[in-house]
Amino acid sequence: MKINIAIDGPSAAGKSSISDMLAESLGYTHLDTGAMYRAVALSALRNGIAYDDEEKIVAMIEAMKLEMLPDGRVILEGEDVSEKIRTDEISMGASDVSKLQGCREALVRMQQHICKDGGYILDGRDIGTVVLKDAPVKIYMVASPEARAQRRLLQNQSQGLLADYEQILEDIKKRDYQDMHREHSPLTKAEDAIEIDTSDMTKEEVRDAVLAIVKEKTGD
Ligand code: DC
């Protein structure tokens, strides 16, 4: 039987790439919930809506056409925005809109609907605590801010984006603080989540550690 798997943790802890690898190994689909908050931020920016204008953002989400394709592409109003949502400006914007309770409620509903039949790996900040409270496998992935900044630096360099280590480190710490201290569903480890520190692990080691946990819980 296909279950749903919850993966939470701060930015650049490796959640997304590990979720892709797990999806491949298990024949599951990866849903990157952070990309949904990013799409909301991009749409707000394009529509001239302030990131803290809850009423307008909620109305915008209700009218918005957002498709999360199983291959990871993000389609907003028919346009592939998968790369446009990865800028540093949108990263901070996503963290800003994610503070709004109305925005969270709308996106959580969409996420729960997408994975209702099982077979999904959801990565985000509130998956184990809110979206999939009953998920049989919950992982809380962490890594030191320095290890995460180093990874983001390499990622950015390969994509021609911001490549200033100190700036990236500062942005990571700022976003961590904001994500962990917001009023609604702050980033926190679910009581029944298993913590994995990926700082000194290869992606393959992390994948295998999670696969072992899945096997233990499900027998698969
Ligand atoms: O995972 P990410 O860095 O792409 O997420 C972007 C922002 O969206 C992050 O700073 C916090 C927010 N987010 C959230 O509040 N809840 C989620 N489930 C996923 C992301």
Question: For the domain that residue 102 is a member of, what is the CATH number?
Answer: 3.40.50.300
* Residue reference for tokens 């279950």: 3
- Res. 159 pLDDT band, cuts 50 70 90: confident
- Res. 88 pLDDT band, cuts 50 70 90: confident
Q: How many other C-beta atoms lie within 10 A of the C-beta of residue 144?
A: 13
State how many domains the chain has.
1
What ligand 1 atom has the least distance to the C-alpha of 11? Answer: 3
CB of 182 within 6 A of ligand 1: the answer is no
- Res. 217 pLDDT band, cuts 50 70 90: confident
Closest CA to 187 of 121, 130, 143, 135: 130
For the stretch 30-83, pLDDT in tens is: 999 999 999 999 999 999 999 999 999 999 999 999 999 999 999 999 999 999
Is residue 212 domain-resident? no
CA–centroid distance, 93 to ligand 1, in Å, is 10
Closest CA to 74 of 63, 64, 88, 85: 85
Is residue 53 domain-resident? yes
Is residue 218 domain-resident? no
Is residue 190 domain-resident? yes
CA 113 to chain centre: 17
For the stretch 96-116, pLDDT in tens is: 999 999 999 999 999 999 999
- Res. 17 pLDDT band, cuts 50 70 90: very high
Is residue 220 domain-resident? no
Q: Name the closest-CA residue to atom 5, ligand 1.
A: 34
Pocket test for ligand 1, best of 92, 95, 123 (most atoms within 8 A of CB): 95
CB of 124 within 6 A of ligand 1: the answer is yes
CB of 179 within 6 A of ligand 1: the answer is yes
Is residue 142 domain-resident? yes
Q: Give pLDDT, residue 162.
A: 72
Q: Give pLDDT, residue 218.
A: 84
- pLDDT, average across residues 143-170: 90
* Residue reference for tokens 């959640």: 15
For the whole model, what pTM was predicted?
A: 0.93
Parent domain of 17: 5-206
Is residue 164 domain-resident? yes
Pocket test for ligand 1, best of 16, 19, 37, 100 (most atoms within 8 A of CB): 37
What ligand 1 atom has the least distance to the C-alpha of 95? Answer: 10
Mean pLDDT of the chain: 95
Is residue 150 domain-resident? yes
User: Does residue 220 have a pLDDT over 70?
Assistant: no
DSSP codes, 112-168? HHHTTTS-EEEEESSIIIIITTT-SEEEEEE--HHHHHHHHHHHHHHHT----HHHH
